[in-house]
Amino acid sequence: MRIMGLDYGSKTVGVAISDPLGITAQGIETICRKDENKLRKTCARIEELIGEYQVERIVLGLPKHMNNDIGERAERSMEFGRMLERRTGLEVVMWDERLTTVEAERTLIENKVRREDRKKYIDKIAAVFILQGYLDSVADGCRQRCR
């Protein structure tokens, strides 16, 4: 079963896909749009990727504040998640994404990606961290139950 990870932003959506065993996450692409509210092409592309990779679940980053409050960005992400559930019929799991963009930025810096090139990759890398966090959590839960 493949799982899709999404980092939903105001003008981009980073996309990651798990391997068939649900162990590792790989960055696929960053979907760009000109306007935050123009989601038709973004949703169409996500649906294409769902079909191409035979995705059975979506993990969507939930950008909570550091004090665990849900702000405007998180509300928009949850609204996007509900829309994806309606359009795709797939379960959308909201996943705490605090500090994933910071972690993605640090990873790009450590790998000596030039500052001007980081924007191309940061959302895709953040989607990988979101999805990998979810996959690791599921694996940890399975290990706990199997003891």
Give me the residues paired with residue 61 across strands: 95
CATH superfamily of 2-142: YqgF/RNase H-like domain (3.30.420.140)
Report pLDDT for 143: 54
Task: Quote the DSSP letter at residue 69.
Answer: -
Rama region for 97: left / alpha / beta (φ>0; ψ in -120 to 50; rest): alpha
Give tens-digit pLDDT for 104-141: 667 767 776 777 777 777 789 899 999 999 999 887 66
Report pLDDT for 99: 65
Rounded Cα distance between 33 and 111, Å, is 27
Give tens-digit pLDDT for 25-51: 999 999 999 887 789 999 999 999 999
**pLDDT tier at 52, thresholds 50, 70, 90:** very high
Report pLDDT for 61: 95
Place of tokens 């992400």: 77
- The closest of 29, 27, 95, 14 to 57, measured between CA atoms, is 95
Rounded Cα distance between 145 and 9, Å, is 35
Per-domain residue ranges for the chain? Answer: 2-142
Give tens-digit pLDDT for 55-113: 999 999 998 767 777 888 889 999 999 999 999 999 999 998 866 666 766 776 777 67
How far is the CA of 20 from the CAs of 23, 80, 131, in angstroms? Answer: 8, 25, 13
